[in-house]
Chain A
Amino acid sequence: MKKHDLRRRILKNKAIYLMILPGLLYFVLFKYFPMWGLVISFQEYRPYDGILGSDWVGFKHYQRLFTEPMFWTIFRNTIVLFLMNLIFFFPVPIILAILLNEVRLQAFKRFVQTIVYIPHFMSWVIIVSISFVMVTMDGGMINEGLDAMGMQKINFLLSDEWFRPMYILQVIWREAGWGTIVYLAAIAAIDPQLYEASRMDGANRFRQIWHITLPSIRSVIVILLILKIGDVLELGFEHVYLLLNAMNRNVAEIFDTYVYTAGLKQGQFSYSTAVGFFKSFVGLVLVMSANWLAKKFGEEGVY
């Protein structure tokens, strides 16, 4: 392309560049400036002096990271919650979508869908509030139920054994229904002739699901799995933070909540930025590797 040709093409679209400008400014200011701000993890950042005026300390904060016992606790907690997401949550929308697909009564299908999508639109504050009201020791319906059946009341909120089950049940309750949308769309794209042919061959409904539905949505499952792995460290600041308290900190503190408390509450800006950087970096590496692996196994991948 000739130079003045390029110039003409750019000038011709002046108005379009003007339209993009505010959005571009947004991404530069609120997404790319913070990436540059990661340099404070190599500094002793003092808010008063700013990034340019603070002293450089090299890898000091990263050294602290790997020697700090609390760091390994949050590392473990993050991994455990991530694995729980993968094992207990991930299959639920798939199963739910397959069940919904087997429903022939369209009105019933729509009814169920309408209901199971609702929690997705509720904030974590609302989800956590509802469950707190239900499990509280004084008058919560779950504990009252346990009491009525002659069992011991359980202090769900202030115990470290109940944090993980509560966390994952809330995730499932909020997101399982919403997660079915993608799978349902993938299932809708399957050629109905496949089912007919299999019926001719005498396949029952289980075998149809196993041999037709599941293999047909395999690539969608793989894509969502990659995205999930990329989210390995995005377990949801809000959700965990709302459940976190002095009694369950040992199992509930994760990277995000730790960054918040160590950084904003205790003012250790540089150290907690290092923690956050470590987290983002691991996430990026994981999603790239998952994507690479998927391609290696002949799937499409995301990027």
Chain B
Amino acid sequence: MVHDKTIGGRLFDGAVYVILFLVALVTILPFLHIIAGSLTTVDELAQKRFVLFPTKISWDAYAYIFSTNTIFRSMLVSIGVTSFGTLFSMILTSLMAYGLSRRDLVGRKQIMFMIVFTMLFSGGMIPTFIVVKSLGMIDSYAALIVPTAINAFNLIILRSFFQNLPDGLEESAKIDGCTDWGILFRIVIPLSMPAIATISLFYAVTYWNTYLPAILYIDSAEKWPIQVLLRQIVILASGLTADSSGFSGDFVTPPDQTIKMAVIVVATVPVLLVYPFLQKYFDKGALLGSVKG
């Protein structure tokens, strides 16, 4: 766009910058407040009410939450579910996406319709619960992974990506005697690393954030992922919630503000760490998913 140097244009520009700056500020401030709060002492937080820069960094809250087993254990559960889940989802999704990207496949349209239809209509929570239960998955880690293994959006994004690779590559590989598996693993996947990375990160974030499957299918507290524990520590302690099956575990009730903040940070940081990698790719991916969905 060409610069517009009129007074009106400049005022307009100024207003745009100010508004967007405020939007960014409002978005980020709560995070900064929580991080700073988790690093102050209880007294400083009580005194200053709103802390952005703690005068003296204190790791007490972190020392406290890691002095108990509870957080460690559910961090481990979340890390395990995230790694295995992402791997499992990616295997299933890429195999199916590649298969469906092949134009010569008989029944391809029907299968695609079957997948899209699940985005419009579903059996709902109870019938799904019954299926998971009859497969004997209740209270197992598998219940946190298998029932949500394929995300239809991710599948469609990956399929479109595979489909856009030049056909000639596959053909020449075939002429050289490459099998379908060889084509997938030696040609298609190496060429699709940006798409594979994006979708993996989407899956990883979903698994890290998993909450609903955990409250539906996991009964024993020692198998809770970090999100469920976070809810117990922060939300249940803050007021009456939907069900009052209160859990305090090793925690003092109610936990101090700084401790709550530290638990929030611990549950958030892994996502913030992958965010820079994620960001590189997702504009494209999300766009494909939302428009072509």
Complex partner residue of A246 from B46, B134, B180, B240, CB under 8 angstroms = B240
Are A20 and B149 in contact, CB atoms less than 8 angstroms apart? no
Are B118 and A37 in contact, CB atoms less than 8 angstroms apart? no
Q: Summarize B's interface: helix, strand, loop or mixed.
A: helix
A63 contacts chain B at the CB level, 8 A cutoff: no
Given A29-B131, A123-B211, A134-B30: A259 in contact with B234 (beta carbons within 8 A): no
Are B30 and A126 in contact, CB atoms less than 8 angstroms apart? no
- CB closest residue in chain A, given B28: A115
Are A27 and B180 in contact, CB atoms less than 8 angstroms apart? no
Are B211 and A245 in contact, CB atoms less than 8 angstroms apart? no
Per-position contact with A for B79-99: 1 when CB-CB < 8 Å, else 0?
000000000000111011011
Are B242 and A9 in contact, CB atoms less than 8 angstroms apart? no
A294 contacts chain B at the CB level, 8 A cutoff: no
Are B95 and A118 in contact, CB atoms less than 8 angstroms apart? no
Complex partner residue of B27 from A26, A51, A108, A116, CB under 8 angstroms = A116
A38 surroundings in chain B (CB, below 8 A): 123-124, 127
Number of interface residues of B (CB under 8 A): 107
Are B231 and A129 in contact, CB atoms less than 8 angstroms apart? yes
Contacting residues of chain B (167-182) with chain A, CB-CB under 8 angstroms: 179-181
How far apart sit A129 and B220, CA to CA, in the bound complex (Å)? 22
How far apart sit A166 and B132, CA to CA, in the bound complex (Å)? 34
Segment of B1-9, B55-63, B67-75 in the binding face: B1-9
Q: Summarize A's interface: helix, strand, loop or mixed.
A: helix
A74 contacts chain B at the CB level, 8 A cutoff: no
Q: What is the minimal beta-carbon distance from B203 to any residue of chain A, in angstroms?
A: 12
A81 contacts chain B at the CB level, 8 A cutoff: no
Given A23-B155, A123-B227, A130-B34: A264 in contact with B92 (beta carbons within 8 A): no
How far apart sit A111 and B124, CA to CA, in the bound complex (Å)? 40
A22 contacts chain B at the CB level, 8 A cutoff: yes
Are B241 and A242 in contact, CB atoms less than 8 angstroms apart? yes
Are A19 and B241 in contact, CB atoms less than 8 angstroms apart? no
Number of interface residues of A (CB under 8 A): 111
Are A133 and B234 in contact, CB atoms less than 8 angstroms apart? yes
B33 contacts chain A at the CB level, 8 A cutoff: yes
B252 contacts chain A at the CB level, 8 A cutoff: no
A30 surroundings in chain B (CB, below 8 A): 128, 131-132, 146-149
Contacting residues of chain B (1-27) with chain A, CB-CB under 8 angstroms: 1-4, 6, 8-9, 12-13, 16-17, 19-21, 23-24, 26-27
Are A182 and B287 in contact, CB atoms less than 8 angstroms apart? yes
Are B95 and A19 in contact, CB atoms less than 8 angstroms apart? yes
B134 surroundings in chain A (CB, below 8 A): 50
A216 surroundings in chain B (CB, below 8 A): none
B106 contacts chain A at the CB level, 8 A cutoff: yes
User: Told that A34-B124, A112-B21, A177-B23 touch, could you supply 20 new A-B pairs with CB distance under 8 A?
Assistant: A6-B106, A9-B106, A23-B96, A27-B118, A29-B131, A31-B123, A40-B130, A51-B130, A103-B16, A108-B17, A121-B275, A125-B235, A126-B267, A158-B240, A173-B30, A205-B12, A220-B291, A237-B125, A261-B243, A273-B126
Closest 8 CB pairs of A and B: A34-B123, A37-B127, A23-B96, A276-B124, A123-B209, A144-B49, A15-B180, A34-B127
